[in-house]
Amino acid sequence: MRFDLKVALRYLLSNRLQSALLIGGVAVAVTVFTFNAALINGLAEFQIDRVVGSSAHVTIEPAQLRPAVLPARDNTDRLTASQVTLERREQIKQWRSVERTINTLPGVTGVSYNILGTGLVSRGQQTLPVTIKGVEPSRLAAIAPIDRNIVAGDARLGLNDVLIGRKLAENLGIRIGQPFFITSDQGRERTLTVRGLYATGIDSLDARLAYVNLDTARVMFDLPEGLSEIEIKLADIYVARQVAEQLAESTGLEATAWMDKNQNLRQALEGQGSSGNIIKMFTLITIVVGVASALLLTTFRRRPEIGIMRSFGISQRFVLSVFMIQGALIGVLGSLVGCILGFGFSTLLANISTGSGRTLPVDPSLGQYDVALLLAAAASIAAALWPARAASRIDPVEAISQ
């Protein structure tokens, strides 16, 4: 065994209570760190799952019309005008070639070719605006798991069928098999039959969306050939941006990844992430302050001993090393214990919350134990630096004559 390690161990063991308290302190800080990570990351995962589970990972839309720049007369500033034209409807015309491109992409788990539009549903005296989504019946569940969330009726989409959310059905007071009067934004009226009701738990789907057959939508929205969007689901949601960029490049259309489509989610995640980081930072500061002050006290208490070592020619580097090793041992042991406690605590809470029905979205597997271990050990070593330097610079004469 290295002799500096032996001396460091002897010092830690000689004051067991202080060492235990120090290791305990680091452990508590690391427990907070890992539990915090498990909670914040678990929450993020939960939120992402909810969004990503029922929406597209990459959405392809027609390229937006660039506002035309109007020529300016002399002596005037240039004006930019955006023209909203009703005649030139945005659509993806060449979608067959896009389909071929998508088919060559790896990691695609589902594609849906959609026509989107708005319409007004009337029922008795009521009129409600709804979003209508025309999909190929075979790809109904490619993006949102509608088929698994059917609560009444079934998920077959015939040419005259419509699937609506349970909320919307409640609002309209409509039931399975009843007629559904709809006027599209293109002025087409149509009477469909309510074929099934779904409840996904997501309001935007359950209260405002209606699924129809793609061919029905073509008629309702006057799009005999084109599409209004293509939705893609990926095996790995975190490559969505790359895939989107790649698709935008090769098709010239607008492709957006889920994280850019859901600004709210992104902001929420960023907010949670940074508040989590502040907590983590404080746990590290706690470690540094605790370890530094305790070790500084130790160096002070051991002044005469260190002085005597220096008097028989033990190098400053050796003394430095003895104290750095103490810091490192405290850090590593403390964070190991902390990781175990953090995992245990997260697991306990994750289980308790599921038991009582309400779920605390703690994910013990996302505790960032490796990061915690590394940072806590680094913090302890950094904290030991100052006391260790102080120890190595003790003047033997002063220390001995004390």
Partner 1 sequence: MINPAFTPSSDDLALLEVKDLRKVFIDRDFQTPVLKGVNFTLQKAEMVALLGPSGSGKSTLLTILGTLMRPSSGSFNMLGRELTTLKEKELSNFRNQEIGFIFQYHHLLPDFTALENVMFPHAGRLWRETRVGRERAAMLLDRVGLKDRMNYQATRLSGGQKQRVAIARALMNQPALVLADEPTGNLDRENADQVFDLMTEIQRETGTTFLLSTHDRELAERCQRRIYIESGVVVDQPVPRERTISAPRTGLRVIDGDAPSVVDRTSTTDRDLQRRA
Binding site for partner 1 (CB under 8 A): 1-4, 6, 10-11, 14, 304-305, 308-316, 318, 396-397, 400
**Is the Cβ of residue 14 or residue 127 nearer to partner 1 in the bound state?**
14
**Is the Cβ of residue 93 or residue 301 nearer to partner 1 in the bound state?**
301
Q: How far is the CB of 306 from partner 1 (least distance, A)?
A: 10
* Short-list 245, 224, 249, CA closest to 58: 245
291 contacts 326 by C-beta, under 8 angstroms: no
Task: State the DSSP code for 157.
Answer: -
196 backbone φψ class: left, alpha, beta (φ>0; ψ -120 to 50) = beta
**Is the Cβ of residue 311 or residue 354 nearer to partner 1 in the bound state?**
311
**Is the Cβ of residue 17 or residue 86 nearer to partner 1 in the bound state?**
17
Q: How far is the CB of 311 from partner 1 (least distance, A)?
A: 5
Helix (H) or strand (E) holding 101: helix 95-104
For residue 197, give every residue at least 6 positions away whose Cβ sits within 8 Å of its Cβ, in sequence order, or none.
150, 151, 152, 153, 163, 164, 165, 166, 169, 176
Q: How far is the CB of 364 from partner 1 (least distance, A)?
A: 40
* Short-list 129, 109, 111, 348, CA closest to 214: 111
Q: How far is the CB of 305 from partner 1 (least distance, A)?
A: 5
Tokens 């929205």 locate to 221
**Is the Cβ of residue 14 or residue 354 nearer to partner 1 in the bound state?**
14
**Is the Cβ of residue 175 or residue 317 nearer to partner 1 in the bound state?**
317
Question: 294 is written with which tokens?
Answer: 């305790």
Q: How far is the CB of 400 from partner 1 (least distance, A)?
A: 7
**Is the Cβ of residue 367 or residue 396 nearer to partner 1 in the bound state?**
396
296 backbone φψ class: left, alpha, beta (φ>0; ψ -120 to 50) = alpha
Q: How far is the CB of 15 from partner 1 (least distance, A)?
A: 9
* Short-list 100, 127, 41, CA closest to 369: 41
Q: How far is the CB of 312 from partner 1 (least distance, A)?
A: 4
94 contacts 60 by C-beta, under 8 angstroms: no
Tokens 């009701």 locate to 197
**Is the Cβ of residue 105 or residue 400 nearer to partner 1 in the bound state?**
400
What gap in Å lies between CA 70 and CA 66, rounded to an integer?
Answer: 12
Q: How far is the CB of 397 from partner 1 (least distance, A)?
A: 5
**Is the Cβ of residue 189 or residue 395 nearer to partner 1 in the bound state?**
395
22 contacts 326 by C-beta, under 8 angstroms: no
Q: How far is the CB of 317 from partner 1 (least distance, A)?
A: 9
35 backbone φψ class: left, alpha, beta (φ>0; ψ -120 to 50) = alpha
What gap in Å lies between CA 305 and CA 299, rounded to an integer?
Answer: 9
Q: What is the CA radius of gyration of the chain?
A: 32
Q: How far is the CB of 1 from partner 1 (least distance, A)?
A: 7
* Short-list 258, 296, 146, 161, CA closest to 215: 161
* Short-list 200, 207, 227, 205, CA closest to 215: 227
Distance of CA 369 to the CA centre of its chain: 18
Q: How far is the CB of 42 from partner 1 (least distance, A)?
A: 46
**Is the Cβ of residue 134 or residue 307 nearer to partner 1 in the bound state?**
307
Tokens 């590593």 locate to 332
Q: Which amino acid is at 280?
A: K
**Is the Cβ of residue 220 or residue 399 nearer to partner 1 in the bound state?**
399
